[in-house]
Amino acid sequence: MRVAELSGVGAPLSVAERPVPEPGPGEILVKVTACGMCYSEVNLLNGEYPFARFPVVPGHEITGVVAALGPGVEWPAAGTAVGTQFLYSSCGQCDYCVRGDQILCLSKKITGIGADGGYGEDFIGRAGFVTPLPDGLDPVAGAPLMCAGITAFNGLRQARIRPGTRVAVLGAGGVGAIAARFAAAMGARVAILGRSRDGEARAKALGAELYVATGDTDPAGALDPAARGREQAGGVAQERGLARAVAAHQRDALAGGERQIHPAQDRRSVAQLVPHALHPQCDRDALPTS
Ligand SMILES: [Zn+2]
Ligand SMILES: [Zn+2]
Domain range spanning residue 64?
Answer: 2-132
HSE-up of 61 (CA within 13 Å, CB side)? 25
Task: Check residue 289 and give its pLDDT.
Answer: 74
**Cα–ligand 1 centroid distance for 144 (angstroms):** 7
Confirm if 270 and 179 have CB atoms less than 8 A apart. no
pLDDT of 219 reads 80
Please enumerate in sequence order all residues whose Cβ is within 8 A of that of 285, keeping only pairs 6 or more positions apart, or say none. none
The strand pairing partners of 169, in sequence order, are: 192
Ligand nearest to C-alpha 92:
2
Position 14 scores a pLDDT of 94
Cα–ligand 2 centroid distance for 124 (angstroms): 20
> The CATH number of the domain where 24 resides is what?
3.90.180.10
Nearest ligand to residue 146 Cα: 1
Question: How far apart are the CA of 249 and the centre of ligand 2, in A?
Answer: 28
Q: Mind listing the pLDDT tens digit for each residue in 118-145?
A: 999 999 999 999 999 988 888 998 999 9
Ligand nearest to the CA of 107: 2
Rounded to the nearest angstrom, the distance between the alpha carbon of 282 and the centre of ligand 2 is 34
Ligand nearest to the CA of 151: 1
Question: Residue 94 Cα, ligand 2 centroid: separation in angstroms?
Answer: 4
Name the CA dihedral angle for 6, 26, 287, 103, rounded to a multiple of 10 degrees: -60
Task: Indicate the pTM of the whole model.
Answer: 0.79
- Cα-to-centroid distance, 89 and ligand 2 (Å): 9
Residues 182 and 248 in one domain: yes
Query: What does the mean pLDDT of the chain come to?
Result: 83
Same domain, 128 and 157: no
CA of 102 to the centre of ligand 2 (A): 6
172 and 54 within one domain: no
Write out residues in the chain with pLDDT < 70, as ranges. Answer: 225-280, 290
Alpha-carbon torsion, ordered 181, 187, 188, 190, to 10 deg: 40
Please indicate, yes or no, whether residues 55 and 154 belong to a single structural domain of this protein.
no
Using the 3D structure, point to which of 101, 132, 163 is the last residue of a domain. Answer: 132
Interval 146-200: pLDDT, tens: 999 988 988 888 888 889 888 999 888 888 999 999 999 989 999 999 988 888 9
Residue 114, C-beta contacts closer than 8 angstroms, at least 6 positions apart: 51, 52, 53, 56, 88, 108
